[in-house]
Every structure is written in C-alpha cells, then in structure tokens.
Structure 1
Amino acid sequence: MKKLISVILLAFAAITLTFSRPALAADAGAGKAVFAANCAACHLGGKNVVNPMKTLAKSDLEKYGMDSMEKIVYQVTNGKNAMPAFQGRLKPDQIENVAAYVLEQSEAGW
C-alpha cells in the first residue's frame, strides 16, 4: 500500500512539474525605473500619446486583452503597430519588471 501511494504521489509531482508554467518573478519597483527611461515618453501617467484610446488604464488593458503579465511582456518584447519592439534593447527581466509595474499601476489607477 505504501508503495502504491508513493507511486501515485511521484506521478502527481511529475505531471504537475511537467505541465505547470513557471511564475514570472518580476519586480515592479525596478520596473518603475525601466518605465521612466523607456516608456514614459509615450505612456506618462498611463496615457498613450500615439493612440489616446488605448491607455494603460485597467479598463483599457482589459478591453484590449492586455491585462496579464504574459500579454504585456509579449507586446513590449515584440512591439505592435506604432509601439517599437524592446527585444534587444531591454533584458527579459527588465521587460518582466516593466510589465509588473504597468499592471501594478493600472490596479492603483495610475
């Protein structure tokens, strides 16, 4: 019986580790500096100078499906439309940090 329970627990652990996505360990405090240096020219205060309808406000992030770390990281990394790609200019951890900062600020209402 002990062996059966051990096998079941081992199988459960293996499945969990295989199919779980790693958590993004981002630092919103560090993201603030990255945002100020790279994003604030167009997004100061959560606004959008290029397209005023698509701000970084929580409601707009939700409306356009950009209200997750993964989505923001993807867009900052790859760019879209008038937004340039920051891949190569920022390190992956800097992009994760700025995404965490954007989400934190959107929750706080900028």
Structure 2
Amino acid sequence: MKKVLSVVLLALAAVTFFFSSPALAGDAGAGAKVFSANCAACHAGGNNVVMAQKTLKKDALEKFNMNSLESIVTQVTKGKNAMPAFAGRLTAAQIEDVATYVLNQAEKGW
C-alpha cells in the first residue's frame, strides 16, 4: 500500500512540475509602475520608437532571444545599442519586476 501511495504522489508531483508554467520571480504590479516611469517613453504599448522592429511583443522577443527573465534583466541592467543601462538608476529588484511585467504583457499581447 505504501508503494502505491508513493508512486501516486510521485506521479502527481511530476505532472505538476512538468505541466505548470514557471513562476516569474518579480512583481508584475510593481514592474508596471517602474515601466511607466522609466520605459514607456520609448516602449509605450510594447512598441519601440527608436528601433521599430525590436518591440516588446512576444514574436519580437522570441526572434531576438529576449524571451526570458534573464535576458531582459541583462538588457535592462547593462543596456545595449540605443538602450541605456539602468543599473545605476534602478535596483536589482526593480529591474526584475519590470522584466516580469514585460514578459507578462508580451504573453497578453500588450
């Protein structure tokens, strides 16, 4: 009986682990405020006023390998090309929050 119960619990844990979407580390609500104050001037509605093809829309994030929390955190922290670095202006927590917000919004279609 213990073996059967152990197998059922293990199977349930495996199904939960493999079929659940990953939890994002940041707070999307706080990230929305950070985005509004620091990012919306160039990225309103998920667009990009500087480089039109590099939007924050899901397909563009995937195309440019920016569809993970880590890649967005790196981009916001260090900057690249026309994107300024925010490491000195935002805390690590704020950057993680805004990255979470961007990924959530991309999933929703902005």
Q: Verify same fold: TM over 0.5.
A: yes
What is the aligned partner in structure 2 of residue 32 from structure 1?
Answer: 32
Secondary structure of 2:59's aligned partner: helix
Secondary structure of 1:55's aligned partner: coil
Matched, 1:88 2:80: no
Q: Percent identity?
A: 68
What is the aligned partner in structure 2 of residue 70 from structure 1?
Answer: 70
What is the aligned partner in structure 2 of residue 51 from structure 1?
Answer: 51
Please give the TM-score of this superposition, normalised by the length of structure 1: 0.78
Instruction: Note the C-alpha offset of 1:25.
Output: 2.4
Long gaps (5+) in structure 2: 1-22
Instruction: Note the C-alpha offset of 1:24.
Output: 6.0
**Aligned pairs, number:** 88
What are the superposed Cα offsets for residues 57-88 of structure 1, whole Å, 9 maximum, x if unpaired? 00000000000000000000000000000001
Mapped partners of 1:24, 1:55: distance in 2: 21
Q: Is the 8 A contact 1:26 1:93 kept in 2?
A: yes
What is the aligned partner in structure 2 of residue 99 from structure 1?
Answer: 99
The one-letter code of the counterpart of 1:51 is M
Instruction: Note the C-alpha offset of 1:102.
Output: 0.1
Q: Is the 8 A contact 2:47 2:56 kept in 1?
A: yes
Long gaps (5+) in structure 1: 1-22
What are the superposed Cα offsets for residues 6-44 of structure 1, whole Å, 9 maximum, x if unpaired? xxxxxxxxxxxxxxxxx8621001000000000000000
What is the aligned partner in structure 2 of residue 14 from structure 1?
Answer: none
What is the aligned partner in structure 2 of residue 7 from structure 1?
Answer: none
